[in-house]
A and B are shown apart, each in its own frame.
Chain A
Amino acid sequence: GAGVSQSPSNKVTEKGKDVELRCDPISGHTALYWYRQSLGQGLEFLIYFQGNSAPDKSGLPSDRFSAERTGGSVSTLTIQRTQQEDSAVYLCASSSRETQYFGPGTRLLVL
Chain B
Amino acid sequence: DQQVKQNSPSLSVQEGRISILNCDYTNSMFDYFLWYKKYPAEGPTFLISISSIKDKNEDGRFTVFLNKSAKHLSLHIVPSQPGDSAVYFCAACEGYGNKLVFGAGTILRVKS
B34 at the interface (CB under 8 A from A): yes
B99 touches A59 (CB 8 A): yes
Number of A-B residue pairs at CB separation under 8 A = 55
In the complex, are the beta carbons of B89 and A99 less than 8 A apart?
Answer: no
Contacts of A45 in B (CB 8 A): 99-101
**A50 vs B45: C-alpha distance in the bound complex, in angstroms?**
21
Q: Which of the listed residues A35, A41, A100, A105 has the most CB atoms from chain B within 10 Å of its own CB?
A: A100
CA distance A44 to B49 in the complex (A): 19
Asked if residues A97 and B43 are in contact (CB atoms below 8 Å), the reply is no
Interface pair A98/B103, CB less than 8 Å apart: no
A4 to B, closest residue via Cβ = B43
Q: How far is the CB of A4 from chain B (nearest CB, A)?
A: 7
Interface of B is mostly: loop
Contact with A along B82-109 (1 / 0, CB 8 A): 0000000101000011111111110000
A98 touches B49 (CB 8 A): yes
Bound CA–CA A99/B32 (angstroms)? 10
Residues of B contacting A99 in the complex (Cβ-Cβ under 8 angstroms)? 34, 46, 49
Task: Say whether A43 contacts B102, CB under 8 Å.
Answer: yes
Nearest Cβ on chain B to A18's Cβ, whole angstroms: 24
Beta-carbon contact of B44 and A98 below 8 Å: no
Interface residues of A in 56-94 (CB under 8 A from B): 56, 58-59, 91
Contacts of A42 in B (CB 8 A): 89, 102-105
- B1 CB within 8 Å of chain A: no
A43 contacts B100, C-beta separation under 8 Å: yes
Known: A42-B105, A91-B44, A104-B43. A97 touches B96 (CB 8 A): yes
Query: Given contacts A42-B103, A43-B89, are A98 and B43 in contact (CB under 8 A)?
Result: no
Closest chain A residue to B103, Cβ basis: A42
Q: How far is the CA of A43 from the CA of B38 in the complex (A)?
A: 11
Given contacts A42-B89, A98-B32, 5 further A-B contacts (CB under 8 A): A41-B104, A42-B104, A59-B99, A99-B49, A105-B42
